Each structure stands twice: as structure tokens, then as C-alpha cells.
């Protein structure tokens, strides 16, 4: 009996294959988020898959003989089962049920690395090889990208992918980097298909490692260096990854808006009452944040110690709000949570607006136009009171410089005008004949020079 047969014959009767039954049961329970049934089905399914006939050759040994039909079906079945186990355990960590008691040391508040290490060890023991196939590695990477908190999960995914790529034999990388050459026989076709599957799995791991893990970690230089040295991936896929990294880097470089940052409060952090006064949400949170489990003791009636502690907490909360007086109605004996809270805000005097200093405003505007070092020195002078005496010679120096520049321009303009007049006077005295003769001689000399240049043989 093998996993390839969906039914088996026994005494003339056809019965469903237990592998397929357990696998379908686990998938349906996983879709319904029934974690208890999913884990129970997976435990039985993994126990059956460990008994399947397996190929002794490593998956990365592409030169070895291809496995037969039964062994290939068993390999495919083990891979499918482990993929389901990876997804189910990651989902169990992300959304653990309240009544689920199994594996408490792997669920929150434990870090996600505990669950990821358990998944990796489960895959290694079930598959039987230390170097997992790329299909399982990519599934583990996808599971790590979904777990929170993200920082330890990303660190685990980084180490897993880096160790896997380093442990790959050079012979395997060279085999998937070169196009497969073979005939048209059945053996050659099977070898080509096996090489193509290994290449696709390898490229999937590299894409996840470079585009998602390193991109989310901000390791831009490492990602680009890995792509530059990659010899299996084509140029088109590399360009897609380069573009993806540039987009992630631009998104990281854009500063967050004030409303989305954690330093400034959002517009919804304050509530407005009917009379137009604002009050903080902390007061309502202090009076209503306690749940029934903490507000009511086991007996159902709040004792004196509980009331005194809660009264002190409310007094401390109201003192932190600026001294607002709180009047509480008498509480019922059945509960310690008040039914109403009346808050009376004392009248607040309007904050006086400081008078606008036009000279200070002009000074600040001028400081923004200056270099930072000069602005700091001027601010120090302004604080010491020596800024105005130090700035008094500046207007006089500017006026003197402008006067000197204007006078120099007038002299230059006068000299130019006198030169033009002198040349005009010479032309009127002598006429145009000397100018025409000079122009004719100049052109004759140019033509002679060009003729000599064209008829002279130059030896190099």
C-alpha cells in the first residue's frame, strides 16, 4: 500500500486510503481553525509518513538515479504533510485558542523563535536529512514572516536561509545554473524535470530571503551584493528584486506623519463634552478599564480593602488630571463598579497671549536666511545685548560699497564712450578706404594660409 493509491482492495471491498483520509481531515480542521483536531490528525499522519519507503539519495544529488514511482510518491507525500504541519503550527502560535492546553511552552508569551525551532526540528526528523529541500525552507520562511513580534522571527528566518544557502553543495548550484543537456528519452526528460523543479525551489528561497527577509531588516547592501553574485537567477528576476528593494528603501526613508507617530497624540485622543470643554481619555480609562474579574472578588461583594484601593487609584488618576473634583454616588453592595461618574471641571482663566515683538520676529526671520554657524553667533550676541551695536556699521559699509561700485561703473562707461568717439573721429577724418584696405588684406592672408596648409605634406 502506498500513498499513490486512493483506495485499496481487501476481500472484494474497496476502502479509502488512510493517508488520504488523515490528510483531508487535517486540512478541513485547519481551515475551520480547529487546532486541537488539526494537531491530533497531524500527529497520526506524521507517524504514518515516517514509515513510508524513502530514497536513500539526497534530494540535492541530481546526478543520482531518479527514484521509482513508489519512492517519488512517498517523497511528495512527506513534503505535503510537512508543509501542512508548518502552516498549522504557525497559525496556532498566531491565534492560540483559550482552551488549548497542548504545547504551552511554544505558545505566547513565549517568543516566536521557540515555535520556529520546533517546526525546523520537526521537519528535520520527519524528512530524515539535515539539509531540507527548498520547498520546506520556503514554507518555513513564509511562516516566520507572519509571526509577531517580527524582529526575532526575522532574525530566525535570516539565519535559516543563510545557513541553507551556505550548506548547498557547489555541484548542485552548478547543475541548476547551467541548462540541462540531454536527449529526448524518458530518463533525460525525468532528469530535466527534476533539475527544473530544484531550480525553481532554489530561486523561491533566494527571492524570499532577498526581497522579504533582508528587505524588512533594512539590509540593502547585503541584498544587492547577494544579487550581484547570484549565478542561477536570470536578469529579469534580478531587475524585479532590485526594483522591489528600491521601493522598500524609499518607504523607509520617508519620515512618518505627525498623526501616525508615537510622539504626538492623534486627533481622536481627546473627547469633547457638550459644553465645549476637552478632557483626556485617561479619566474614562481609569474609571472603566477594570474588568469584572478584577473589580469583583470571588464572593461577589467588594470588601473594604478592595474599595479603599480602588478609591486611592481613582484619587491618583484625578490628581494627575489637574485636580478635577469627582463626585461618586453610593455604590451598590453587589458590585464595586460605579454606575455613574460625575466630573466637574473648575473654571480656568484664559491664558494671556504674549505681546508680539516685531523686532524679535524680524530677527528670527533674518536668522533663518543665514548659515547655521553665523546664526548661532548672532543669537549669542543678541542674548548678551551686543547684537545691535555690532550690526550698526553694516548699513554704513553697504552704502559706501554701493557708492564705490556706482562710481566705478560711471568711470568705465565714460572711458568706453570716449573710446568710441575717438574711433568715430578717426574714421571721419580718414574715410572708409583704410578700413576696406585692412579688411581686404586680412582676407588675402587667410586664404594664403589655407592654401599653404592644404598643399603642404606633413610627415609624422
Sequential DSSP letters for 75-114: HHHHHHHHHHHHHHHHHHHHS--TT--S-GGGSTTS-HHH
Which of 173-190 are b and which e, b meaning 16 or more Cβ less than 10 Å from the residue's Cβ? bebbeeebeeeeeeeeee
Cα 323–chain centre separation:
44
User: Residue 387: pLDDT above 50?
Assistant: yes
Residue 164 pLDDT: 97
Torsion of CA 366, 372, 376, 377, to 10 degrees: -90
Q: Is pLDDT larger for residue 260 or for residue 403?
A: 403
In the chain, what are the domain boundaries? 1-146, 168-254, 398-444
Q: Is pLDDT larger for residue 8 or for residue 224?
A: 224
Give the C-alpha separation, 406 to 398, whole Å: 12
**C-alpha cell at position 290:** 477594570
Q: Which helix (H) or strand (E) holds 283?
A: helix 281-288
Contact 397, 386 (CB under 8 A): no
pLDDT tens track for 55-108: 778 899 988 877 777 888 888 889 999 999 999 999 999 999 887 788 889 999
Cα 221–chain centre separation:
15
End-to-end CA distance of the chain: 91
Residue 88 pLDDT: 96
pLDDT tens track for 233-291: 999 999 999 999 999 999 988 765 444 333 333 334 343 444 444 333 333 333 333 33
Partners of residue 272 on adjacent β-strands: 278
What does the radius of gyration of the chain's CA atoms come to, in whole angstroms?
Answer: 42
Nearest-CA neighbor of 158 among 201, 222, 202? 222
Sign of CA dihedral 60, 61, 62, 65: negative
pLDDT tens track for 422-438: 666 665 665 677 778 78
**Model confidence at 321, in pLDDT bands (50, 70, 90)?**
very low
Sign of CA dihedral 136, 142, 146, 148: positive
Which of 433-454 are b and which e, b meaning 16 or more Cβ less than 10 Å from the residue's Cβ? eeeeeeeeeeeeeeeeeeeeee
Contact 25, 39 (CB under 8 A): no
**C-alpha cell at position 155:** 532574525
User: Residue 229: pLDDT above 70?
Assistant: yes
User: Residue 320: pLDDT above 60?
Assistant: no
SS3 155: helix
For 332, which DSSP code?
Answer: P
Give the C-alpha separation, 454 to 441, whole Å: 20
Alpha helices (H) along 128-185: 134-146, 150-167, 170-177
Q: Which residue has the cell 552548478?
A: 174
Residue 358 pLDDT: 64
Helices and strands (H and E) in the chain: how many: 19, 6
Amino acid at each position: 500500500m502506498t500513498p499513490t493509491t486512493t483506495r485499496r482492495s481487501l476481500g472484494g471491498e474497496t476502502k479509502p486510503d488512510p493517508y488520504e483520509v488523515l490528510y483531508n481531515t487535517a486540512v478541513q480542521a485547519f481551515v475551520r481553525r480547529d487546532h486541537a483536531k488539526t494537531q491530533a490528525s497531524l500527529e497520526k499522519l506524521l507517524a504514518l509518513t515516517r514509515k513510508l519507503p524513502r530514497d536513500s539519495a539526497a534530494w540535492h544529488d541530481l546526478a543520482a538515479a531518479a527514484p521509482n514511482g513508489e519512492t517519488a510518491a512517498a517523497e511528495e507525500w512527506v513534503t505535503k504533510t510537512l508543509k501542512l504541519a508548518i502552516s498549522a503550527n504557525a497559525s496556532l502560535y498566531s491565534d492560540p485558542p483559550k482552551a488549548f492546553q497542548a504545547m504551552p511552552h511554544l505558545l505566547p508569551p513565549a517568543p516566536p523563535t521557540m515555535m520556529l525551532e520546533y517546526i525546523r526540528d520537526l521537519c528535520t526528523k520527519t524528512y530524515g536529512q539535515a539539509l531540507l529541500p527548498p520547498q520546506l525552507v520556503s514554507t518555513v520562511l513564509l511562516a516566520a514572516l507572519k509571526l509577531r513580534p517580527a524582529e526575532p522571527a526575522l532574525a530566525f528566518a535570516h539565519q535559516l536561509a543563510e545557513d541553507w544557502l551556505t550548506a548547498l553543495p557547489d555541484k548542485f548550484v552548478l547543475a541548476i545554473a547551467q541548462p540541462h543537456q540531454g536527449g529526448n528519452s524518458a530518463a533525460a526528460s525525468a532528469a530535466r524535470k527534476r533539475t527544473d523543479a530544484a531550480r525553481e525551489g532554489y530561486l523561491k528561497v533566494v527571492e524570499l530571503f532577498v526581497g522579504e527577509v533582508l528587505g524588512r531588516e533594512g539590509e540593502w547592501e547585503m541584498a544587492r551584493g547577494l544579487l550581484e553574485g547570484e549565478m542561477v537567477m536570470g536578469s529579469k528576476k534580478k531587475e524585479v528584486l532590485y526594483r522591489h528593494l528600491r521601493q522598500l528603501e524609499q518607504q523607509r526613508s520617508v519620515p512618518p506623519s505627525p498623526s501616525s507617530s508615537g510622539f504626538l497624540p492623534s486627533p481622536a485622543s481627546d473627547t469633547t463634552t457638550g459644553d465645549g470643554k476637552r478632557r483626556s481619555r485617561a479619566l474614562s480609562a481609569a474609571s472603566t478599564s477594570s474588568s469584572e474579574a478584577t473589580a469583583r472578588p470571588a464572593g461577589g461583594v467588594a470588601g473594604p480593602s478592595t474599595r479603599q484601593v480602588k478609591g486611592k487609584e481613582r484619587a491618583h488618576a484625578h490628581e494627575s488630571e489637574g485636580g478635577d473634583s469627582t463626585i461618586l454616588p453610593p455604590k451598590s453592595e453587589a458590585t464595586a463598579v460605579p454606575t455613574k461618574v460625575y466630573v466637574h471641571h473648575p473654571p480656568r482663566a484664559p491664558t494671556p497671549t504674549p505681546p508680539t515683538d516685531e523686532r524679535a520676529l524680524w530677527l528670527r526671520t533674518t536668522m533663518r536666511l543665514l548659515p547655521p554657524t553665523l546664526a548661532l553667533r548672532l543669537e549669542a550676541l543678541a542674548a548678551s545685548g551686543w547684537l545691535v551695536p555690532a550690526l550698526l556699521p553694516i548699513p554704513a559699509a553697504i552704502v559706501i560699497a554701493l557708492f564705490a561700485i556706482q562710481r566705478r561703473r560711471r568711470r568705465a562707461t565714460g572711458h568706453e564712450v570716449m573710446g568710441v568717439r575717438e574711433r568715430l573721429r578717426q574714421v571721419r577724418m580718414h574715410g572708409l578706404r583704410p578700413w576696406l584696405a585692412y579688411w581686404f588684406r586680412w582676407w588675402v592672408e587667410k586664404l594664403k594660409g589655407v592654401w599653404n596648409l592644404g598643399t603642404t605634406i606633413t610627415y609624422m
